[in-house]
Amino acid sequence: MKLIPVTLGDLALYEAMFGDEEYMKDLGGVQPAEKIPGILERQARCMSSDKGWVFKIIAESNDWNSETYGPFPNDDCSSWDIGSGEKVGELDSTTIVSGIPVGTVCIWTGYDEKRDVEISEIGWGILVKFQGKGFATLALKILLEKAKDSGRWGVIHAMTNVHNVASNKLCRRVGFSFIEETEMEYDGRMLPANLYTFDSTNKE
Ligand SMILES: CC(C)(COP(=O)(O)OP(=O)(O)OC[C@H]1O[C@@H](n2cnc3c(N)ncnc32)[C@H](O)[C@@H]1OP(=O)(O)O)[C@@H](O)C(=O)NCCC(=O)NCCS
């Protein structure tokens, strides 16, 4: 698996995530199509200006447990563009990455209004057709190792909708500690949430 910076070329991937009812069900519902380019633009700018990390997750054939999930879906992917699936993605004139874009992971500096302090926050998402195959677990492990190595993010906060079974399991699986039930704001919508933290200064 590779984590590759999100760029403005990733609109199809963003449309496949933010425009999908099943994907957005615990995030308050789909985003209107006209808002999705703006979401991508903000996230790509966040990455390119190094204000945060916004990566797309590229799954490779060795990330795939074919005994459990069947053959790596090469046929399915030969005509992919970034969102509907791409076997080989051209990232810039010098970098060619082989694999399939399956979602995104990010860490950014957010704001805790209750405590009036800046905090590090983390988010994740896997395209519905690739969910339940261990990709989020693997991507988060890689991202959290990167965060530990960088020494940049301190205590990382994760907020997940209390009804988001997969995200709540994921938090515990990759080593987050449950802190409290609270509310989270997602695009102006208030959702019941669990707050977890991960101390990236802990080198164990
Ligand atoms: C949350 C999400 C990223 C999980 O991705 P994934 O690649 O399917 O996760 P994994 O395959 O690594 O599985 C992680 C855990 O969730 C469980 N899980 C995955 N899908 C599940 C489902 N639909 N129902 C119940 N549990 C599920 C897995 O069994 C695993 O638990 P385990 O460690 O006890 O075995 C994915 O469901 C998603 O993108 N959802 C939409 C976007 C979203 O809600 N993002 C989170 C914002 S906080």
- Give pLDDT tens digits for 144-176: 999 999 999 999 999 999 999 999 999 999 999
pLDDT digits (tens, 9 = 90+) for 41-58: 999 999 889 899 999 998
Tell me which residue of 155, 147, 60, 163 sits closest to 106, measured CA to CA: 147
Asked if pLDDT for residue 92 goes beyond 60, the answer is: no
Please work out whether the CB of residue 134 comes within 6 Å of at least one atom of ligand 1: yes
Residue 70 exposed, middle or buried by CB count within 10 Å (0-12, 13-18, 19+): exposed
Residue 72 Cα, ligand 1 centroid: separation in angstroms?
19
Q: C-alpha distances in angstroms, 58 versus 51, 105, 113, 187, 193?
A: 22, 11, 34, 26, 28
| Protein residue with least CA distance to atom 10, ligand 1 | 134
Task: Kindly tell me if the per-residue pLDDT of 84 is higher than 50.
Answer: no
Q: With a 6 A CB cut-off, is 176 part of the ligand 1 pocket?
A: no
pTM confidence score: 0.90
For residue 186 and ligand 1, the question of a CB distance below 6 A is answered with: no
**Under 8 Å between Cβ of 30 and 20:** yes
* In this structure, CATH architecture of domain 2-152: 3-Layer(aba) Sandwich (3.40)
User: Crossing angle, helix 36-48 and helix 11-18, to 10 degrees?
Assistant: 120
3-class DSSP state for residue 84?
coil
pLDDT tens-digit map of 111-153? 988 889 999 999 999 999 889 888 999 999 999 999 999 999 9
Which residue's CA is minimally distant from atom 37 of ligand 1? 166
